[in-house]
């Protein structure tokens, strides 16, 4: 019944925006570092919380600790797009989905074929020298010897284009995502418990009456939604979208 209603809502919409979180990537076997398991791993091996380990403070003052954690816990080069990624790319090709707004940093939406993707927290696939600003791909950055990647040209540290704790979001990306959600006739929120701010606040910018929440657990916004489905985001979307 819920799947039928979702399909009906999608068919009656032509300006859909998808807002997604870590749950979209966990179905591609990318662990959520904020989960209990991720928290346990960080505390056990490093003695700190994940939020501290990927903070700007640690990047600036303890780069060896930062990159040891970052390289081993936030980069999954073998991960592949899952059913959710492909379903969203298909909806975009059909002209129904206008944008994906993601909290993930793994590039899987683009790999699946999505064109308009607003990456609120950046991407591990973009890296820049803090001295001369030279661009480095993920493979180039990872191939540099030593735990802390330094630019072969100027010797400065290469920083991932990822929003760290204590850093602000990219204003242009945020504004574009906000505008897309404000203009949407349907907002699908998936794979997120909506507890990470400011990303979760974007739900409040939606002005339509077709808010759909797809997540395995409940969220604080469930009572605001037209439809709530507590299930796998990949299974749900692939059941109602022809990939």
**How do the domains of the chain map onto residue ranges?**
2-30+81-121+167-240, 31-75, 125-157
Fold entry, domain 2-30+81-121+167-240:
Rossmann fold (3.40.50)
Omega before 198 cis (within 30°)?
Answer: yes
Task: Please tell me whether the overall predicted TM-score, pTM, comes out greater than 0.85 for this model.
Answer: yes
The reply to whether 109 belongs to the active site is no
Quick one: CA dihedral 33, 39, 43, 49, positive or negative? positive
Question: Which residues, other chains included, contact 40 with Cβ-Cβ below 8 Å and sequence gap of 6+?
Answer: none
Residue closest to 75 by CA, chosen among 84, 67, 63, 86: 67
Coarse DSSP helix, strand, coil percentages of the chain, rounded to the nearest 5 percent? 40, 20, 40
Radius of gyration of the chain (CA): 19
Residue 195 has a CB neighbour count (10 Å cut-off) of 11
CA distance 69 to 91: 36
- In order along its 243 residues, the chain shows pLDDT tens digits of 899 999 999 999 999 999 999 999 999 999 887 777 777 778 899 999 999 999 999 999 999 999 999 999 999 999 999 999 999 999 999 999 999 999 999 999 999 999 999 999 999 999 999 999 999 999 999 999 999 999 999 999 999 999 999 999 999 999 999 999 999 999 999 999 888 788 889 999 999 999 999 998 888 889 899 999 999 999 999 999 988
Question: How many other CB atoms are found less than 10 A from the CB of residue 154?
Answer: 12
* From 85, 109, 121, 230, active-site residue: 121
């Amino acid at each position: 019944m819920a799947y039928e209603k979702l399909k009906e809502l999608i068919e009656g919409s032509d300006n859909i925006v998808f807002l997604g979180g870590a749950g979209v990537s966990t179905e591609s076997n990318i662990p959520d570092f904020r989960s209990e398991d991720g928290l346990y791993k960080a505390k056990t091996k490093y003695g700190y919380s994940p939020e501290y380990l990927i903070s700007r403070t640690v990047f600036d003052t303890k780069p060896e600790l930062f990159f040891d954690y970052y390289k081993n816990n936030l980069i999954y080069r073998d991960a592949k797009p899952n059913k959710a990624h492909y379903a969203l790319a298909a909806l975009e090709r059909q002209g129904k989905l206008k944008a994906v707004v993601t909290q993930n940093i793994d590039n899987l939406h683009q790999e699946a074929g999505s064109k308009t993707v607003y990456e609120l927290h950046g991407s591990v696939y973009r890296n820049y020298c803090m001295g001369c600003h030279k661009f480095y791909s993920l493979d180039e950055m990872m191939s540099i010897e030593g735990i802390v990647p330094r630019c072969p040209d100027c010797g400065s540290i290469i920083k991932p284009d990822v929003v760290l704790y204590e850093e602000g979001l990219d204003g242009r990306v945020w504004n574009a995502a906000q505008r897309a959600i404000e203009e949407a006739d349907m907002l699908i929120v998936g794979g997120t418990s909506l507890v990470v701010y400011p990303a979760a606040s974007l739900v409040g910018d939606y002005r339509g009456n077709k808010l759909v929440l797809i997540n395995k657990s409940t969220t604080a916004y469930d009572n605001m939604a037209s439809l709530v489905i507590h299930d796998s985001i990949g299974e749900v979307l692939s059941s109602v979208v022809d990939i």
